[in-house]
Chains A and B, each alone.
Chain A
């Protein structure tokens, strides 16, 4: 896969198993970008809102909604409310397909919403498609 920009993937996922499975599938899709995993919302926000990260970029966020310390929706709102970070694409990953929740995420500016199906094939398929997605992302130059 041709990599034009070194996009950093930031994964916010408290379930280690899920994080591992996601990473495996991303790698299988041939995505070699740097992947930084955070098990809590607080840690993820601290990292993303640190000056070096906030002003660096570009990056992509894989966000689980069900976190132990906060609701992923709040993290989404924080990101999309920030002048710089709002440009980062956010892929929401969750175990439920509650339509209201899905709608709320899109309303807040989520780019992709992926349910974590129990049928692993479809899940890994979706993750692999993310790889394609990443490959066509046109991340604007930082100013």
Chain B
């Protein structure tokens, strides 16, 4: 600091108050005359010297510490400091020792242009006289008047206050720091109106406003009045009992009453007592537990909701820790399994499974735990009835924000009935399929058989045709050359007659026999045999040809057809004195030629095998059975031996006395025809009483029925 004008320096020097100027190293830079006078020193003795060199004192003495502390404080706090009373001895001039002095000093900082403290100005007043007066008052207490007493008391108090102030100052600084920086909110209220005297940062943040000191709670926080807090403060103020609140809900208005902020607080209203034991204020202290409260509530709510849901649904629910340790099952699980709560925690659930499913389920579960893939399995679970029922088990992992698996949540659903129905359905379907398959297979086999039979039949017919054809060829030769032989025989016979007439002696009996009987006889047998053979071959040919003929279904009036056939045998009937009775018969749609041959043969046979010992009587009748028709040809003829009943339908087989013309082909032919028409033929007969041939045919011949 530079003293710019002479006037200031003059003023400084002339001032009756003693001043000394120190730099920050406490070196004495300058002083005025009053100071030199007060300290009894000369200017040159002091300038450039350190304060404590110029005025030495025991560094451990209270005086020394007090003075140095004050200098430090000025530099530190950049503000003035006062020392009300300080005892500081100063050396007497001329080395006559030290004189005890009492001072009252003010230290003022002087700043440079940069705003930094550059010098300390000490203004000191010598109060030794006052001090002496006090001591005097102490020693002569009786003689001292009231004023002296007051003087002395005041002085003492000033000293005490000075000391107390210092302690308090330090303590206050410390407390204020603590108070302001405390994480909890704090405020002090004073008087019955609860006027804010202090509030820390946390408190101001909580209430969202500033400048409340000096205002009553009612004005600073009008919204809490209705919420009962003022009432509460009144009670504490009046009763002197602290109030401790836990998670107390308070609604504060933020942003000038626009938004309402609900907070939850833990706090204490601590009454402050004055020295007389009267409540003078209330200390408010606490912390905001809103977040904690909300988290707790959210958690409880979520948990309650979960439990409510978990227990209100039909499904069994369980949960596990990340490692698969089961720590939760809902009520359904316990109701279903009937086991005590907690008994299936951990891995004990596996025992509830059917022994055959345990290993599989365990493997699937472990796999899911390892991979984090959803769990999905069907297994049998022991029901409280003891029955193992099919259950569908599913589980999903739940992860945190970092993707770490936190829990598994699973369900069990009883699918027993469903599964059984499904099984039954599948089984029945399989059975149906098997049946169908079997049917199809049988049908295929049947079709194959039919084809084979058709082929075999075809083969037989072809065979019959070729055989008959091939047999006929040599027969033609036999017949032809027999005729040639006859021609030759005629020539020989002519020659034989000529010789007999001309020279009978040349004719030996052997020659006569050969020419007259042997040759004609041999030729005769050859002829009749070949004729018979030709007929047999013709019959086979006819049968084979019949099998190859294409059937042509058409409506047939059976009555007319049978009438015509009766006419064709009328001659034979009258010869035998027999009758043929024709009852009404149903018509049908079939192959006309085949029908004519069937009934022609049956009627022929009936006529042929009548019993000559009684009047012949043949009856034909019929019946309509809907999709089938039945015809019966009944005779009272000689009947058929039971052992021959089947044989009569075979080719070339005949029954009974062979007194009638025939090749044994008629009934074989008839049966072949009936079968081709899709019908059946049967016979019932009693020897000596007659026979009844029953023919059953489809009412409508379709070409498909031929295949069967």
Contacts and interface: CB of A to CB of B under 8 A. Distances in A.
Interface string A1-29: 00000000000000101100100100000
Contact of A121 (B470, B483, B545): B483
Contacts of B479: 118-120
Which bracket fits the contact residues of A? 10 to 19
Interface in B456-496: 465, 468-470, 472-477, 479-484
Contacts of B484: 21, 24
B531 interface: yes
Contact of B475 (A24, A96, A118, A124): A118
B545 A98 contact: yes
Interface in A80-134: 95-96, 98, 116-121, 123-124
A66 interface: yes
Contacts of B483: 120-121, 124
Contacts of A119: 479
Interface residues of B, number: 21
Contact of B480 (A21, A66, A96, A98): A21
B534 interface: yes
A95 B530 CA distance: 14
Nearest to B530: A118
Contacts of A98: 465, 545
B541 interface: yes
B472 A96 contact: yes
Q: Majority SS of interface residues in chain B? A: helix
Contacts of B469: 66, 95-96
A82 B519 CA distance: 51
A51 to B, nearest CB: 34
Nearest to A124: B483
Contacts of A123: 476, 480
A121 B474 CA distance: 16
Contact of B473 (A95, A120, A124): A95
A15 B472 CA distance: 12
A49 B468 CA distance: 33
Contacts of B534: 118
Contacts of B475: 118
B462 to A, nearest CB: 12
Interface string B653-670: 000000000000000000
Contacts of A95: 469, 472-473, 476
Contacts of B472: 95-96, 116, 118
6 contacts: A15-B476, A21-B480, A66-B473, A98-B545, A116-B472, A118-B476
Interface of B: 465, 468-470, 472-477, 479-484, 530-531, 534, 541, 545
